[in-house]
Structure 1
Amino acid sequence: MSTMRAVLIKDDKGPIENLYIGETEKPVPKQGQVLVKVVAFGLNRMDLIQREGRYPPPPGASTILGVEFSGRVEYLGPGATKWTTGDEVFGLSGGGAYAEYIAAHQDLLIRKPPHLSWEEAASIPENFITAHQAVILYGELSRGDNVLVHAGASGVGVAAIQMARSFGASSVTATASTKEKLEWLLSIPNGATEVANYKTEDFSKTVKNATGGKGVDVVVDFVGRTHWEKNIESLAVDGRMTIIAALSGSLVPTVDLGPILYKRLKIQGSTLRSRSLEYQSNLVNRVKCFCSAAFQEVVSKITGSEGDGPMRVYVHKVFPWTEIQIAHKELSENKNIGKIVCRIS
């Protein structure tokens, strides 16, 4: 049996201190999969919840943490015909990215362009694919729409803001918890046009001021319970809200259905990791390409933070994977502006 190093969890779940790098079985690619030697992987809040034992991976997925990565194709499994050995790629997986090797389906990989570093590429899949799903697919964004994005300084939040602006949103209001984050979101190219500190301000009033009292057409929410009432207040007639997570809790004690009815609101729950391979591969293809003035690849429009593309990746910090506990602590304490990435040494 071939082995590899991976980030493992003592007792299979627990606090940050239970994370360690140990030996485990090297994956063998199944039908349609390729073996990728991982260079870098991105951190997501779902990793924290899974580590605590509250978010098991989907059936058949690796129990090792991590859903996005960048690396080189090392071996082709049976039926894998879309890649060759040595190809530089990044992509999605149901799990297994916190490791030296990952078996990934060929349809969930994207070729890494040379203008992106390994760390930048690893920060893209979960962020931009989730943002595309929330803003474009479910949010049905049209040019001139007004948008509200919560958790604006998170990886997905930053991607959603830029994507909305790139697709012609008239205004994008973003919420965050600190002055530093709000000022940063206003400063970046294609960043937020309005901001609100959700801890000290009523963001629905900020939205109304920004839209002349109309409200927003699209809401992207990660928070749930504490934001529900103000989200409904913020939405315009025929508005659409995509709920990606419920970080403040999923139970809303008193729900008034009236505004949902008379505003004709659409409220869509959204998950990505648990969706079928067919759905995820179709979504990856949608993100690879979109229609604007011409049919182009989204990835070609994404640059690093110092680039000049309409959408940029912002990496908060790169940790060596030997510091995985510190990286998890940084994310759990909500210190990041942009994405936290680990590089395998």
Structure 2
Amino acid sequence: MQQNHGGNIRAAAKEYNLDPAEIIDFSANINFLGPPESVTKALKNNLKGIKDYPDPECNQLKTIIAKQENLEEDNLVIGNGAVELIYLLATVLSPREALVLAPTFSEYRLAIESVGGSIEEFQLQKEEGFRFNLDDLLPRLDNIDIFFLCNPNNPTGKFITREDIIEIINYAASQDTFLVVDEAFVDFLEEDITVIDLVKQYDNLFVLRSLTKFFAIPGLRLGYGATNKELIKKLNASKDPWNVNCLAQLAGEKALNDKEYIKQTEEAILREKEFLYQKLNQFSKFKVYYPHANYILVDLENSNLTSTRLEEKLAQQGILVRNCNTYSGLGEDFIRVAVKSRENNLELINRL
């Protein structure tokens, strides 16, 4: 597998001879409000800090996260984006057999393959709306070293309840299976499904969080993981000593404390995802999956378009969507679009 993700504006601009500043990017699921003003102001005022090494332990950021999540700092590891922690975890645990959903985020598979592990897929069925069947899943955990669960799942947007995850954790523990719950998009949900508090109770649980998507700082790279203290020690011993730069740490500290921005984001995403979902549903030949996070999966099977053809036609007009043909099991039938501003959403609808 190759690393295929959305958000590569420079490559698209070069391929389609476009001005990068005029591209509307629906391919990356980033908060359309942009970074909090508190973050951009702090970065401008602290640029001189780049002359010093960053705190290798990210202590101030850990203190804020620990307080907000009711954890101890020794339960946390900070990463240069959540993806770094996926690879770090794979390196430290070195699993032989892994289970992933299909379709789901590709980096789980790539991380396991990078340490020589084998991958099994739990196929989510299009005919069942990509819903999760717990009775079918649990037996698949037998003889599995690690299971990656993206919740809500990317790109389907479907989520699993907290109660169901607890059942998975308990069954996984009985099979000596380690569970990774990737909650990269959980902050966009109205529903409360997080299990991050349970890392104090279960030793076979790692919860992954991203700060880049909700706070719109993907260029800075920032994420964190929570798990038992013994595993945290091993992860910290194996990671690069200064893996998170000083500006990313500062951005995280300011963003997590910006309650007004968090409230504005929750209101804006709720408003615009409903708007875009209803507008996309007006295309009778599209099957549109209801969005719980800030992205929408669209099935093109009944239209006269493949995902590659539609991707190209929109890109020629300066609009990028995520072609889902690189996701296992989706082929040329699906695109994913991020929820953006009203103006951008209307532009997408008009182009379609």
TM-score over 0.5 for the pair = no
TM-score calculated relative to the size of structure 2? 0.35
Q: As a proportion of its length, which structure holds more strand?
A: 1
Q: As a proportion of its length, which structure holds more helix?
A: 2
TM-score calculated relative to the size of structure 1? 0.36
